[in-house]
Structure 1
Amino acid sequence: MKIVADHDRCRGAGQCVFSAPDLFDQSDEDGTVIVLDDHPPPESHARARRAARLCPNSVIRIIENPEPAHP
């Protein structure tokens, strides 16, 4: 899993932080989303999906099977 957030569309509602504080934070400057762990461990996947569903601006995207990085 990979978490991607569109900072330009984020309005700082904070639902992601309430849903998964281990995965998300908010910028002190403008309140927009900060992804703390963009490749979370399996035990955090359900919380990441929930945060994406609850985002009122739909700025969090979950990529279930990301392509592996190439060296």
Structure 2
Amino acid sequence: MRIDVDPDRCEGQAVCVGLAPKVFELNDDDEVVRVIVDEVPEELQKRALKAVEKCPMAALKVAE
């Protein structure tokens, strides 16, 4: 499973970083979240999916 970030929607609120810090991080300017894994490992998928669900800007999408 992969997750894509829409940089035009992301406001860097970092809800996803809090829920899945091994999958997401803020960019160097703390403005946009980026995915730090190419494929989300199975053991992190539940947290990553929760992050997609809880993103306040709906900037995350699952791309399987």
What SS does the corresponding residue of 1:37 show, helix, strand or coil? coil
Which residue does 2:33 correspond to in 1?
33
Instruction: Measure how far apart 1:39 and its partner are.
Output: 0.7
Aligned equivalents of 1:5, 1:42: Cα separation in 2: 19
Instruction: Measure how far apart 1:30 and its partner are.
Output: 4.3
Alignment size in residue pairs: 64
Deviant stretches of 4+, over 6 Å: none
> Which residues in structure 2 correspond to 1:5-44 (within 5 Å)?
5-44=5-44
Which residue does 1:69 correspond to in 2?
none
Which residue does 1:55 correspond to in 2?
55
- Higher alpha-carbon Rg: 1
Q: CA RMSD in A?
A: 1.1
Percentage of identical aligned residues: 38
Q: TM-score, normalised by structure 2?
A: 0.90
Instruction: Measure how far apart 1:45 and its partner are.
Output: 0.5
